[in-house]
Amino acid sequence: MLNWISAHQQMIYIVILMIFLGIEVIGRVPSVLHTPLMSGANAIHGVVIIGAIIVMGKAEDGNYLALILGFLAVVLGTINVVGGFVVTDRMLEMFKKKK
Amino acid sequence: MSLLATIYIISSVTFILGLKMLSNPASARRGNQIAAIGMTIAILGTIFLYEDNGQKLHNYVWIFAGIIIGGIVGTLAAKKVKMTAMPEMVSLFNGMGGACAALISIVEFNHMQNAAEILKGDQSNGYFIPNFSFGFIYIICLGLVIGSISFAGSIIAWGKLNGKIKDFSFKGQHIVNIILLIIILGLAAYLPIHFLESINNISFHFYIILFLAILYGIFFVLPIGGADMPVVISLLNSFTGVAAACGGFLYDNKAMLTGGILVGAAGTLLTILMCKAMNRSLKNVLIGSFGASATSSGVKKEQGAYKEISLSDAAVVMSYAHKVMIVPGYGLAVAQAQHACHELEKLLTEKGVEVKYAIHPVAGRMPGHMNVLLAEADVSYDNLLEMEQANEQFPTTDVVLVLGANDVVNPAAKTDPSSPIYGMPILDVELAKACIVNKRSMKPGYAGIENDLFFQPKTSMLFGDAKKVLQDLIGEIKNL
C-alpha cells in the first residue's frame, strides 16, 4: 500500500488538487447555467475515450474480447464526447440568442 | 512521448479553463468550445503519438471506424433532440461514458488475468506479482463499479424522463440498496486478495461484481421521482468523472485523471448547488423522505374550498386585463405547452394586453428549464422577468396565469415556518388582482404539500392539461 502510494504520488497530488480546483472553479455559477454546466462537464469526462483508444490500439489480433469490447468502448466514448459538446453548444446558443 | 505529454498538459488546461468559463453566462459558449478543442487534440495525440514500451498503437481501422460511428451518432442525437428533452439526452450521453469506463475495466482485467496466468506458469516467478498490480486491480474494480452504476443509473434516468420507465419502489428498498452496495464493495475489496490463488474462476467473481453494480445502479435511481432526475443525472455525471479518472490511474494518463477528477469534484458541487436552488438537501432527493415528512407537518390544516373558472370566463378576464403575468412551471414542460403559451401571448398582445413571464429560478425543477423552453418557442427575452423583477410588478398586474407551477407560488414558503419549503424564495402571485391557476388536478405539487394560494378568494382554478387548456383558451379568446 505504502509502496503504491509513493509510486503514484504524482497522481495522488493531481487528484487532491483537482478536487479543490473543481469545487473552486464552478463555485459561483448562476442557477440558469446549471444545466449547460452539467452538460459541459458531462462532455469533459468523455476524456475516458482516451482509455478506450488505448485499449483498442493495444488489443492483439486474436483477442476478440479486447477487440470487440474496445471497439464498443470507442464508439460509446465518442458518442459521449461529441454528443456532449454539441448538445451543450446548442443549449448555450439559445442563451446567447436571447441577449 | 514528450510531445504527447505536452498535448495532455494543454488539454488539461483547456478542461479547467472550459469549466471555468462555463460557469459564467458571457463566456459559457466559448468555454465549451475551448474544452472541445482540448479534447480533440488529446484524442488525436493519443491515436498518433501514444507509445507503450516503444510500441505504437495499432488497429487504426477499428479506432477510426469507432470514432466515426460514435461521432455521427452523437452529433445526430445531439442535433435532433428537442430542447425539452435535453436532460434525458445528457443522461444518455453520461451513460455511454460510464459504459465506456466499465468496458475498459473489463478488458484490462482480462489483460491482467492473462499476464498473471503467464506469471503463474513460470515457476521461477512463483506466485509473485509486483505490489503495484494489486493497486491496479483495485483501480480496475473501482472503474468497473462506478462506471456500471453510472451506466445503469443513467439509462434508468433517461427512461424515466421520457416516460418509458415508471417510478418503482418497494418497502425497505433503501436498506436493500445499502446491503447491495456493501456486498459490491466487499467483493471488490476481496477480489485482488485471492486474485492469484483462484485465477481460474476469478472471472466469475469479477462478473458478479459487474452484475451487482448494474443492479445497484438500477435500484438506486428507480425510486427517485422524475422531477428530481436532473439532480440525479448531475450526481451520476460526477460518478462517471471518477470512473474516467480510474482510467487515468491505469494508463498513467494525466489528461484523463485531470478531466475525470475535475468533473467528479465540480459535478458533486453542482449537484449540491442544484439541490440548494430547490431548497432541498441531497439526502432528501436520494432518500425521498420529503413527501413523508411533509404529510406530518403541513397538510392537516383545514383545506377550505376552491373555486373553478370556466374557459370562457378566463378568456374574458384575460382579454380585458391591462397586464397579464404568466408563471410557467413543470406542468408546462410536461405538457410541451410552450408553443401554445407563446401563441396565447401573441394573441393577447394583439388585443393590447401587456404580457410578461415570471420565471422562478427553479421552475420546472431544472434550473434554467423555463428559459430554454420558452426560448425554443421564440418568446422574446425581454418578456422574461426574473423573480425579483416579477415580484416588483405583481401588485400592478391584473391577472396572473399560473401554468403547472405549484411550489414556486406557494405562500407557505413565507408564512408557515413548519412548511418544508419554508424559506424558499417564491413568486408573490397573491399580490396581483386575480390569479388563474392551471393544474391537472388538485393533487399537491412536487413538495407534496397543499398550496394555500388555491383556496384564496382571488384565485380560481382551471383544470386540465396545460397544452389543451391553452389551445382552448386561445380558441375562446379568438371567438370573443
pLDDT in tens, B22-58: 988 888 999 999 999 999 999 999 999 998 877 888 8
Q: Between chains, do A69 and B250 touch, taking CB under 8 Å as contact?
A: no
- Asked if pLDDT for residue B291 goes beyond 70, the answer is no
The mean pLDDT of A65-69, rounded to a whole number, is 91
The mean pLDDT of A15-38, rounded to a whole number, is 87
**What's the CA gap between B113 and B379, in Å, rounded?**
59
The mean pLDDT of B386-399, rounded to a whole number, is 88
User: In the prediction, which pLDDT does B447 show?
Assistant: 63
pLDDT in tens, B73-90: 999 999 998 777 788 899
The mean pLDDT of B319-328, rounded to a whole number, is 91
- Minimal-distance CA residue of chain A relative to B375: A94
User: In the prediction, which pLDDT does B295 show?
Assistant: 38
**What's the CA gap between B442 and B427, in Å, rounded?**
20
- Asked if pLDDT for residue A51 goes beyond 70, the answer is yes
**What's the CA gap between A78 and A74, in Å, rounded?**
6
Three-class secondary structure assignment of B76-123: HHHHHCCHHHHHHHHHHHHHHHHHHHHHHHHHHHHHHHHHHHHHHHCH
Given the residues B228, B407, B428, B452, select the one marked as catalytic.
Answer: B407
Mean pLDDT, all residues of chain B: 84
For residues A84 and B21, the answer to whether their CB atoms sit within 8 Å is no
The mean pLDDT of B6-21, rounded to a whole number, is 95
B76 contacts: CB under 8 Å, gap ≥ 6: none
**What's the CA gap between B94 and B107, in Å, rounded?**
20
Q: Is the pLDDT higher at B168 or at B103?
A: B103
Mutation target to probe the A interface, by most A beta carbons within 10 A, among B90, B203, B236, B246 is B90
Chain B residues whose beta carbon lies within 8 Å of the beta carbon of residue A92: 28-29, 32
**What's the CA gap between B371 and B376, in Å, rounded?**
9
Three-class secondary structure assignment of chain B: CHHHHHHHHHHHHHHHHHHHHHCCCCCHHHHHHHHHHHHHHHHHHHHHHCEECCEECCCHHHHHHHHHHHHHHHHHHHHHCCHHHHHHHHHHHHHHHHHHHHHHHHHHHHHHHHHHHHHHHCHHHCCCCCHHHHHHHHHHHHHHHHHHHHHHHHHHHHHHHCCCCCCCCCCCHHHHHHHHHHHHHHHHHHCCCCCCCCCCCHHHHHHHHHHHHHHHHHHHHCCCCHHHHHHHHHHHHHHHHHHHHHHHHHCCCHHHHHHHHHHHHHHHHHHHHHHHHCCCCHHHHHHCCHHHHHHHHCCCCCCCCCCECCHHHHHHHHHCCCEEEEEECHHHHHHCCHHHHHHHHHHHHHCCCEEEEEECCCHHHCCCHHHHHHHHCCCCHHHEEEHHHHHHHHHHCCEEEEECCCHHHCCHHHHCCCCCCCCCCCCCHHHCCEEEEEECCCCCCCCCCCCHHHHCCCEEEEECCHHHHHHHHHHHHHHC
Is there a catalytic annotation at residue B407?
yes
Q: Between chains, do A85 and B267 touch, taking CB under 8 Å as contact?
A: no
CATH topology of domain B311-479: Rossmann fold (3.40.50)
Q: Is the pLDDT higher at B289 or at A14?
A: A14
Q: Is the pLDDT higher at B291 or at B396?
A: B396
The mean pLDDT of B380-389, rounded to a whole number, is 83
Q: What Cα–Cα distance (Å) separates residue B198 from each residue in B144, B149, B207, B407, B441? A: 20, 26, 14, 57, 60
User: In the prediction, which pLDDT does B285 show?
Assistant: 75
- Asked if pLDDT for residue B236 goes beyond 50, the answer is yes
The mean pLDDT of B453-460, rounded to a whole number, is 86
Q: How confident is the model at residue B382 (pLDDT cuts 50, 70, 90)?
A: confident
pLDDT in tens, B353-381: 999 999 887 777 566 778 777 877 888 87
pLDDT in tens, B101-159: 999 999 999 888 887 777 666 544 444 555 457 788 889 999 999 999 999 999 999 99
**What's the CA gap between B259 and B266, in Å, rounded?**
10
User: In the prediction, which pLDDT does B294 show?
Assistant: 38
The mean pLDDT of B422-444, rounded to a whole number, is 83
- Asked if pLDDT for residue B302 goes beyond 90, the answer is no
Of the ranges B116-125, B279-288, B471-480, the best mean pLDDT one: B471-480
Q: Report the amino acid identity of residue B18.
A: G
How many residues in chain B? 480
- Asked if pLDDT for residue B100 goes beyond 50, the answer is yes
Nearest C-alpha of chain A: how many angstroms from B421? 18
Q: Between chains, do A41 and B367 touch, taking CB under 8 Å as contact?
A: no
User: In the prediction, which pLDDT does B445 show?
Assistant: 66
Find the range with the poorest average confidence among B168-182, B254-268, B310-324. B168-182
**What's the CA gap between B91 and A84, in Å, rounded?**
10
- Asked if pLDDT for residue B288 goes beyond 60, the answer is no
For residues B451 and B432, the answer to whether their CB atoms sit within 8 Å is no
Chain B residues whose beta carbon lies within 8 Å of the beta carbon of residue A31: 273-274, 277, 361-362, 367-368
Q: How confident is the model at residue B300 (pLDDT cuts 50, 70, 90)?
A: very low
Q: Between chains, do A76 and B237 touch, taking CB under 8 Å as contact?
A: no
Q: What is the dihedral of CA B167, B171, B174, B178, to 10 degrees?
A: -130
User: In the prediction, which pLDDT does B331 show?
Assistant: 82
Nearest C-alpha of chain B: how many angstroms from A17? 9
One DSSP character per residue, chain A reads: -HHHHHHTHHHHHHHHHHHHHHHHHTTT--GGGHHHHHHHHHHHGGGGHHHHHHHHHH--TT-HHHHHHHHHHHHHHHIIIIIHHHHHHHHHHHHHHH-
- Asked if pLDDT for residue B385 goes beyond 80, the answer is yes
- Asked if pLDDT for residue A13 goes beyond 70, the answer is yes
- So where are chain B's domains? 81-287, 311-479
Q: Between chains, do B62 and A70 touch, taking CB under 8 Å as contact?
A: yes
The mean pLDDT of B247-259, rounded to a whole number, is 92
Q: What percent of chain B is predicted at pLDDT more than 90?
A: 40
Mutation target to probe the A interface, by most A beta carbons within 10 A, among B103, B203, B382 is B103
User: In the prediction, which pLDDT does B81 show?
Assistant: 85
